[in-house]
Structure 1
């Protein structure tokens, strides 16, 4: 893993403001991203609740409150170098400026809203810090609440990237109305995904990828289900096993998902849409194995601070 030099004792704070979850990572500059030296916090804020293009009053208040908590943690840790990035929901919401201004006024934290392509680049930088890249052909996939990023990697180098507004909160709001998900809803969802992702699928569907590297969220759930005692980044999963598991979950009702031991309550309503998307990718692309990265956009942002 790559080392970065910096002043002894200096710390960096990275905040990822996602559509579903806000993450805070505090880590010493000049150190490897060792979990023993890194403090991580997250809060399921759900700023994309109810709408794909407007932050409602409830989500707005939750989000500002969490940012205040993060500011206190940064103060306690004496972090002076902070980078906060906003992604899909903040790219799309008509009242993003109101939120950004409130956070700056009430916490002193400045938020940068980044493009989908920039988000994909930072995800790649984060994954590159891990040992997940095969050195052959890899497809990186980050299923977020508002957008999904794909990065095509050849020989450890980024070749192409895509960012689509097909995050699970958006998909849930648009298509998943029945419990369990109705067959017609699934067909409409799959057709929508195929249309949106056509530019990418047209390029990669006939190019085998040795490895699909999953990042965050849905993939964390999958890793915990198949490899609960193995660290992320070191366990390979058979794509066919993921498809089989996914089909079982998609067929469950909301109540049944809440009782399932592999599904956190915070993801129970969104997981069917996420798994429909994942199964579509696994079936359309020639994937030999799946691995879940321990690193994501936060670690990618970290590399820009040193």
Structure 2
């Protein structure tokens, strides 16, 4: 029997058509899992014979406890060059090579702007009404002149600012280390955290998830927002306190929200967010484009071939 390579969380069944795997298949039997495996025992059982695992972003966690139960694992490939769900130190101690790929481009920023437009003009609600036989029943708002508050002005935040400025929005930003000079270089005004939440018509989250940013936006921040304000999160779910967000949406402290990320993914069917009419829910598709998948899986193939040649590349 050839050694096994398992591709995890291929929800759209496109991993094998997004790259050329023929050279890999001469060494490995390729096993593709299209459903998410949440239970640790089930995951370990599925991967017991896998020498190589290709993981999609942070969909499946590989803490030390899981890695220790996978003695045959030699190479773990993650899409992107950062993955908070993998214990890289534990993998190294076990002799498992962890390699990555390049990340996404402007896809997340583009989706963020699409979500802002949907919130402003009720696109999804009106589309649903039309399919049900209805006609006009909502009134939108103009983006020109509205204030967009960016929590974080890194690469994605700066790209969102560029798009928002094209719509003639006023863009402000805050993060713990943001300087006025750096903000100004992107056509953005740096403000303090309180001002951002008090004055922004739209707040969009663009900081990475770390121990410092977990719960960064909670009840205190959401209580500051102006009437009619919206929240957009395309970064990571736990940056926004989920209970505080749910309450703000239920009592209309927030006019609405658009979310692409959650504390638990896939979002459980029983999650109360699914029952709210003032929130747009997307299944973490910010980076899900044909171009990104071609990069992810194409470079995953390169990582596997480099590992087989004894010269691993893009190691974490």
TM-score by length of 2: 0.30
Which structure's relative contact order is higher, taking Cα pairs within 8 Å and 6+ residues apart?
A: 1
| Greater strand proportion | 1
Q: TM-score, normalised by structure 1?
A: 0.31
Which has the larger Rg?
2
